[in-house]
Structure 1
């Protein structure tokens, strides 16, 4: 993913094109991942799930603002970096979005809680790397990513519980 600094933008500021590029990338990942999700499938309904699993409708309600905060935070951070740090941050975001979308394919399309668990553990590691990169550029933007990382951690615990209950 290549996100370039807008012509004429002051160094260290985030122009609308940076935010738009981040929002587009996040939306694309959400769409690509969402295609694989089938919470009403026979397979998913047959899984034994923990009693603390949220209802299906809650996931869409939670993910929408998390994706918005991800787009805003990374757009802001990218606008405050230049050179190799900007490239590293853009790569961290791109890798994170790939892993975010991939989880749905690993869990739902492959019908494999264990593959999903592997994917979400990688996503958690990617979240830590992304948080570090964003924090270097803008601590306020990094704070905005904490709920995203926390929700992914919750999703990892949920996925692990489902994998354990359905060997």
Structure 2
């Protein structure tokens, strides 16, 4: 295991995850109507920590392999869309907009899962929990948007 390379991928994940520290759910999110199957609050940091460790492992393994171009491109794409979703949903409170970000996020995670599997079985397998989590997150985003039709987004000039 190349710990330096793993650390670089983990640092990229932490940078993406930093949006969660900047744009926290807070009281606004707690007051929203949510479906009964919403994961408990403690599940989110546990899930994201596990996912970041797994996809850092996956990125490290695939970065060392020949034929990794598409896998690395999908790895980068999922990091970008993941970074974008949090400020759109929690920062701007644009639930529909966040759902629109969720589409390319889900596609990039699915693409990363598939292309990592093509290059390295264990790297692809490491993306499976992320694909499951982003699928739940997409359904949750859609449900929260549907259950809260009167919630006004924040206008950037009000920030």
Q: Deviations over 1:83-110 (max 9, x none)?
A: xx33433222111111111110110011
Q: CA 1:36–1:122 in structure 2 vs 1: closer, same or farther (change >3 Å)?
A: farther
Query: What's the TM-score once normalised by structure 2's chain length?
Result: 0.85
2:26 to 9, 19, 40: 40
Asked whether the 8 Å contact 1:18–1:79 carries over to 2, the reply is no
Gaps of 5+ in 1: 1-13
TM-score by length of 1: 0.82
**Deviation of residue 15 (structure 1)?**
3.1
State whether structure 2 residue 16 is matched by structure 1 residue 29.
Answer: yes
CA positional deviation for 1:145: 1.0
List runs of 5+ in structure 2 lacking aligned partners. 150-159
Among candidates 110, 125, 134, match of residue 128 of structure 1:
110
Secondary structure in 2 matching 1:21 = helix
Alignment of 1:1-80 (within 5 A): 15-31=2-18, 33-41=19-27, 43-80=28-65
Give me the CA root mean square deviation: 1.6
Contact 2:62 2:72 in 1 (8 A): no
Separation (CA, whole Å) in 1 of partners of 2:22 and 2:85: 9
1:99 to 81, 87, 95: 81
> Partner of 1:10 in structure 2?
none
Helix, strand or coil for the counterpart of 1:149? helix
Among 105, 108, 122, the alignment partner of 2:90 is 108
Alpha carbons 1:89, 1:134 under 8 Å: kept: yes
